[in-house]
Structure 1
Amino acid sequence: MLYPELFKQLEAVRWNMDKDIPWDAFDASLLSDDQARTIKMNAITEWAALPATEMFLRDNKDDSDFSAFMSVWFFEEQKHSLVLMEYLRRFRPDMVPTEDELHEVRFEFDPAPPLETLMLHFCGEIRLNHWYRRAAEWHTEPVIRAIYETLARDEARHGGAYLRYMKRAMLKFGDEARAAFAKVGVLMASARRTAQALHPTNLHVNVQLFPRDTIQSRLPDPEWLEHWLDKQIQFDSVWENKVVDRILHNMSLLMERSFASVQELNRYRKEMAAAVLSGGLKDEGALGASAAA
Structure 2
Amino acid sequence: MLYPELFKSLESARWNMADDVPWDTFQPELLSEEQAITIKMNAITEWSALPATEMFLRDNRHDSDFSAFMSVWFYEEQKHSLVLMEYLNRFRPDLVPTEEELHAVRFEFEPAPALETLMLHFCGEVRLTQWYRRASEWHTEPVIKKIYDHLSRDEARHGGAYLKFMKKAIDQAGDTARAAFSKVGVLMASSSRSSKPLHPTNLHVNKELFPNDTVQSRMPNPDWLEHWLDNQIQFGKEHEARVVGGILRNLSSLFGQTFETVTDLNRFRKTVSAAAAAA
Q: Give the residue type in structure 2 aligned to 1:142.
A: P
- In the superposition, the TM-score normalised over structure 2's length comes to 1.00
* Alpha-carbon separation, structure 2, partners of 1:189 and 1:139: 27
- Which residue in 1 is equivalent to 2:177? 177
- Which residue in 2 is equivalent to 1:286? none
- Residue deviations 1:10-32, cap 9 Å, x none? 01111100000000110000101
Q: Give the residue type in structure 2 aligned to 1:272.
A: V
- Which residue in 2 is equivalent to 1:18? 18
Partner-residue secondary structure (3-state), 2:89: helix
- Residue deviations 1:172-198, cap 9 Å, x none? 000000000000000000011110000
Matches within 5 A, 1:1-293: 1-279=1-279
* Alpha-carbon separation, structure 1, partners of 2:171 and 2:13: 29
CA shift for structure 1 position 276: 1.0
* Alpha-carbon separation, structure 2, partners of 1:226 and 1:148: 18
CA shift for structure 1 position 274: 0.6
CA shift for structure 1 position 278: 1.3
* Alpha-carbon separation, structure 2, partners of 1:67 and 1:14: 20
* Alpha-carbon separation, structure 2, partners of 1:141 and 1:185: 36
- Residue deviations 1:230-275, cap 9 Å, x none? 0000000000000000000000000000000000000000001111
Partner-residue secondary structure (3-state), 2:107: coil
Partner-residue secondary structure (3-state), 2:222: coil
CA shift for structure 1 position 132: 0.1
Q: Is the 8 A contact 1:45 1:201 kept in 2?
A: yes
Whose radius of gyration is greater, 1 or 2? Answer: 1
* Alpha-carbon separation, structure 2, partners of 1:217 and 1:277: 36
* Alpha-carbon separation, structure 2, partners of 1:232 and 1:152: 17
Structure 2 residue runs without a partner (length 5+): none
* Alpha-carbon separation, structure 1, partners of 2:67 and 2:194: 32
* Alpha-carbon separation, structure 1, partners of 2:190 and 2:167: 23
* Alpha-carbon separation, structure 1, partners of 2:11 and 2:31: 32
Structure 1 residue runs without a partner (length 5+): 280-293
* Alpha-carbon separation, structure 2, partners of 1:132 and 1:25: 20
- In the superposition, the TM-score normalised over structure 1's length comes to 0.95
* Alpha-carbon separation, structure 1, partners of 2:217 and 2:191: 19
* Alpha-carbon separation, structure 2, partners of 1:278 and 1:64: 29
* Alpha-carbon separation, structure 2, partners of 1:168 and 1:211: 35
Q: Give the residue type in structure 2 aligned to 1:25.
A: T
Root-mean-square deviation (CA, aligned residues, Å) is 0.4
Partner-residue secondary structure (3-state), 1:212: coil
Q: Which runs of 4+ in 1 moved over 6 A?
A: none
CA shift for structure 1 position 277: 1.4
Q: Is the 8 A contact 1:192 1:240 kept in 2?
A: no
* Alpha-carbon separation, structure 2, partners of 1:29 and 1:235: 25
* Alpha-carbon separation, structure 2, partners of 1:50 and 1:158: 16
